[in-house]
Amino acid sequence: MFRNKPAGLVVDYIGLAAELKAALAHYSQGDQAQTGIDERQAMEAFLNALDVARAQFHGFDYAGALGADTAKRLLVLPAALNQILDGAREAEDAEIGTKRFLDAVAALVKAFKLASGTPEASAHAAEVAFFVAVRSGLEKVDAAGGRGRSGSPDFAIEQLVNRAVASTEVVDILEACGFDRPDISVLSDEFLLEIQGMQHRNLAVEALKKLLNGEIASRTRTNVVQQEAFSHRLQVAVARYHNRSLDALQVIQELIAIAKDLRAQPKDDLTEEERAFYDALAKNESAVEVMGNQELRIIAAELVATVRQNAGVHWWTRDNIRSRMRVAVKKILRKHGWPPDLEAEAVQTVIRQAEAIAQNLV
């Protein structure tokens, strides 16, 4: 609300109005009158961009989402996202297929911005808003590779477009797809069963991929070996899905298996830090064969104690402290004769594990 006006929005594109006035001051009054954009050309460009965006939904009826109430739009939006994701998989590169749609919508928004003063363009505002909503949905499920656009110059006009559909609504695509229950966890049996039965399976894959990424990062934040192992499994499964080696149902089942394995991490008397070091030490197969589990557990406990002694505030910004910790870690490994095969890469894995735990401690 601005002063006595109940609604309305004044947009100054980061000082653009002042710069435009300064630029126009160099022209005569006659020239200034001719500096506007030809409405016919703007409208032609807008209609061309609209046709390109519409082509992305060939054979898909989204008319029910235009000018409808919230419930009807929420019924259409997940199916629309599934349509784009399915079309992207038809491309040789799924990411390129998704980017094609994102670029089409970006071009449409820019064209709408130029032609929005015309009644003809305004008549298509709801349709433009639908395309923008689908693009936002793709970004929410991370199918767009995490490319957020909220800071782009077109963000203000996108808000205006969205208000053409509803001025007071905020639609979250994950909520629209049923991810709104407060007790849902990506690792609960109930949730995994629910997502396996989702109607829009391409969308389910993208949502589950995003949620699994978050769970892996959260549950293995101090365990370098486990984080790399689970992340690799997830990347391989998604790659097989995108190159069509797996269909949507098969990859969902594979992602569910990853989720269950992540949930079933071993529970024993080791602390979280000791388990992380144990995994780093046991990654060297010859160490397990030659030294045995008990010896590795002893080394892991000593490494945790050493890291706790050497990690200080902002230790990662001070080379001398980091160097001292690396030396202390290597000293413990040499004392126990680890690794028995003298593999240099194995030592670097333990060093990375030590730094991960140190950073978490401070």
Cis peptide before 339 (omega within 30 of 0): yes
Give dist(CA 116, CA 263) in Å, integer. 51
Looking at the structure, tell me whether residues 278 and 258 fall in a common domain.
no
Looking at the structure, tell me whether residues 199 and 332 fall in a common domain.
no
Give dist(CA 230, CA 237) in Å, integer. 11
Q: Where does the pLDDT of residue 7 fall: very low under 50, low under 70, confident under 90, or very high at 90 and above?
A: very low
Give a yes or no: residue 91 inside a domain: yes
Give a yes or no: residue 203 inside a domain: yes
Contact 109, 158 (CB under 8 A): yes
Q: Say if residue 38's pLDDT is above 50.
A: yes
Looking at the structure, tell me whether residues 35 and 170 fall in a common domain.
yes
Give a yes or no: residue 7 inside a domain: no
Contact 346, 291 (CB under 8 A): no
Using a CB cutoff of 8 Å and minimum separation of 24, what contacts does 118-122 make? 118/39, 118/42, 118/43, 120/43, 121/42, 121/43, 121/46
Looking at the structure, tell me whether residues 221 and 116 fall in a common domain.
no
Residue whose C-alpha is closest to residue 273's, from 362, 329, 356? 356
Please provide residue 28's backbone torsions phi and psi, each rounded to the nearest 5 degrees: -75, 165
The domain in which residue 282 lies consists of 272-361
Residues 6+ apart with CB under 8 A from 197: none
Looking at the structure, tell me whether residues 167 and 30 fall in a common domain.
yes
Q: Where does the pLDDT of residue 198 fall: very low under 50, low under 70, confident under 90, or very high at 90 and above?
A: confident
Give a yes or no: residue 258 inside a domain: yes
The overall longest dimension of the chain from CA atoms, in Å, is 89
Give a yes or no: residue 24 inside a domain: yes
Looking at the structure, tell me whether residues 211 and 357 fall in a common domain.
no
Choose the final residue of a domain: 176, 206, 239.
Answer: 176
Q: According to the model, what pLDDT value does residue 36 have?
A: 52
Looking at the structure, tell me whether residues 166 and 205 fall in a common domain.
no
The model scores a pTM over 0.85: no
Average pLDDT over residues 21-42: 56
Q: According to the model, what pLDDT value does residue 177 have?
A: 57
Q: Say if residue 19's pLDDT is above 60.
A: no
Q: According to the model, what pLDDT value does residue 196 have?
A: 73
Give dist(CA 11, CA 2) in Å, integer. 12
Region of poorest pLDDT, from 258-267, 277-286, 327-336: 258-267
Residue whose C-alpha is closest to residue 242's, from 94, 136, 360? 94
Looking at the structure, tell me whether residues 221 and 319 fall in a common domain.
no
Per the structure, how many domains does the chain have?
A: 3
Choose the final residue of a domain: 263, 280, 304.
Answer: 263
pLDDT averaged over the chain?
76
Q: Where does the pLDDT of residue 350 fall: very low under 50, low under 70, confident under 90, or very high at 90 and above?
A: very high
Region of poorest pLDDT, from 61-65, 105-109, 191-195: 191-195
Q: According to the model, what pLDDT value does residue 339 have?
A: 92
Q: What percentage of the chain carries pLDDT values higher than 70? A: 72
Give a yes or no: residue 96 inside a domain: yes
Q: According to the model, what pLDDT value does residue 100 have?
A: 87
The residue with greater pLDDT, 164 or 173, is: 173
Q: Where does the pLDDT of residue 40 fall: very low under 50, low under 70, confident under 90, or very high at 90 and above?
A: confident
Looking at the structure, tell me whether residues 234 and 337 fall in a common domain.
no
Q: According to the model, what pLDDT value does residue 32 have?
A: 40
As given in the structure block, the two tokens for residue 177 are: 């797809």
As given in the structure block, the two tokens for residue 213 are: 């990424």
Give a yes or no: residue 4 inside a domain: no
Q: Where does the pLDDT of residue 296 fall: very low under 50, low under 70, confident under 90, or very high at 90 and above?
A: very high
Give dist(CA 168, CA 227) in Å, integer. 41
Looking at the structure, tell me whether residues 39 and 119 fall in a common domain.
yes
Contact 192, 256 (CB under 8 A): yes
Q: According to the model, what pLDDT value does residue 277 have?
A: 95
Choose the final residue of a domain: 232, 263, 294.
Answer: 263
Residue 2, strand partner residues? 5
pLDDT digits (tens, 9 = 90+) for 65-120: 887 666 677 778 888 888 888 877 776 566 677 888 889 999 998 888 888 778 88
Please give the DSSP secondary-structure letter assigned to residue 333: H
Looking at the structure, tell me whether residues 200 and 278 fall in a common domain.
no
Looking at the structure, tell me whether residues 284 and 342 fall in a common domain.
yes
Give dist(CA 49, CA 274) in Å, integer. 57
Q: Say if residue 39's pLDDT is above 50.
A: yes
Give a yes or no: residue 181 inside a domain: no
